[in-house]
């Protein structure tokens, strides 16, 4: 399928391209699928590796180590103290659960019987919000009680029957008093007030925008991994869209974007190389560092 027909089939708007500096920090062997990432408090990044049922720790200078191994597929991850909260399970089946993961240690936190495809996860105070890409629900986990309950559900959260294998709601991020969500199959960016108890005030932020996971900058700019479109897209507060990285910069099958907590003008991107479930073993997965806003070049003085 050529690029034009893929855009049409997946209802994705074509946008201009302005490349930013990109650097490959880590490569995994072909056949590895990397999914989500979260900053590690003492430095580096925790990366979920669903293909190998593990969490890797990657340092800023490109050293990789196994942080923890799980019994099922890890998806969403949120930093917590000296470790992380991690969702894991088998896509399409019951048995999902939340883990508290530290170096070499996996503690069962609570069962998530409502889930069938736990995907993106975000923290909102003392609760975790988890997107189910199959059922179109957002689950809320009370971290004090360690209990989960459905928070909200909406038809716009669900996948499309004709888009077989493409997730519904996928990425989820809390910013500015709102919960932002991507629906990959419907090519939508949505938001709802974090304090909501239903979807009365659900808004469509953008349409014809095919995206996986994403990050929200303090200035209101969103940076989104486009997955099948092999790029990172910048969505400005005024709605302007620009691709800032493409496959030749290493972001082939981009799955997640995070903002560096020490430098908000730097982005970190996981790129799986091969499509999930494709069976391909030719392309490496990568962790890429992007300079979203390259440092300004000092002007030469006239003197």
138-165 pLDDT, tens digit per residue, is: 999 999 999 999 999 999 999 999 989 9
180 occurs within a structural domain = no
pTM for the complete prediction? 0.94
Its domain, for residue 98, covers: 37-113
223 occurs within a structural domain = no
Residues 17-29: what's their mean pLDDT? 98
Full DSSP string of 40-89: -TTSSEEEEEGGGTEEEEE-TTS-EEEEEE-SSEEEEEEEETTEEEEEEE
68 occurs within a structural domain = yes
51 occurs within a structural domain = yes
Q: Are 12 and 187 in contact (CB under 8 A)?
A: yes
67 occurs within a structural domain = yes
- Residue reference for tokens 């709102």: 178
55 occurs within a structural domain = yes
Domains in the chain, number: 1
123 occurs within a structural domain = no
Percent of residues, the chain, with pLDDT higher than 70: 93
Q: Given pLDDT bands bounded at 50, 70 and 90, which one contains residue 300?
A: very low
d(CA 248, CA 230): 9
The pLDDT mean for the chain works out to 94
Alpha helices in the chain (DSSP H): 3-9
89 occurs within a structural domain = yes
Q: Given pLDDT bands bounded at 50, 70 and 90, which one contains residue 277?
A: low
d(CA 225, CA 70): 25
pLDDT tens-place string over residues 87-134: 999 999 999 999 999 999 999 999 999 999 999 999 999 999 999 999
């Amino acid at each position: 399928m050529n690029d034009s027909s893929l855009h049409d089939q997946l209802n994705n708007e074509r946008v201009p391209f302005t490349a930013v500096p990109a650097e490959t920090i880590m490569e995994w062997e072909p056949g590895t699928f990397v999914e989500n990432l979260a900053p590690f408090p003492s430095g580096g990044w925790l990366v979920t590796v669903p293909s190998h049922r593990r969490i890797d720790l990657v340092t800023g200078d490109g050293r990789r180590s196994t942080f923890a191994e799980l019994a099922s597929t890890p998806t969403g991850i949120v930093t917590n103290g000296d470790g992380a909260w991690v969702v894991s399970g088998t896509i399409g089946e019951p048995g999902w659960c939340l883990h508290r993961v530290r170096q070499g240690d996996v503690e069962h936190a609570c069962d998530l019987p409502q889930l069938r495809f736990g995907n993106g996860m975000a923290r909102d105070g003392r609760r975790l919000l988890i997107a189910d890409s199959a059922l179109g629900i957002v689950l809320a986990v009370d971290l004090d009680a360690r209990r989960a309950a459905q928070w909200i559900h909406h038809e716009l959260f669900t996948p499309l029957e004709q888009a077989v294998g493409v997730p519904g709601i996928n990425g989820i991020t809390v910013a500015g008093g709102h919960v932002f969500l991507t629906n990959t199959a419907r090519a939508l960016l949505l938001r709802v007030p974090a304090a909501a108890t239903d979807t009365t005030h659900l808004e469509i932020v953008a349409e014809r925008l095919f995206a996986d996971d994403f990050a929200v900058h303090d200035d209101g700019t969103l940076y989104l991994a486009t997955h099948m479109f092999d790029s990172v897209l910048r969505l400005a507060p005024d709605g302007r869209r620009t691709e800032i990285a493409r496959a030749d910069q290493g972001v082939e099958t981009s799955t997640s974007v995070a903002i560096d907590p020490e430098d908000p003008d730097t982005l970190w991107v996981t790129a799986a190389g091969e499509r999930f479930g494709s069976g391909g073993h030719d392309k490496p997965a990568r962790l890429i560092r992007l300079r979203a806003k390259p440092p300004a070049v000092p002007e030469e003085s006239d003197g």
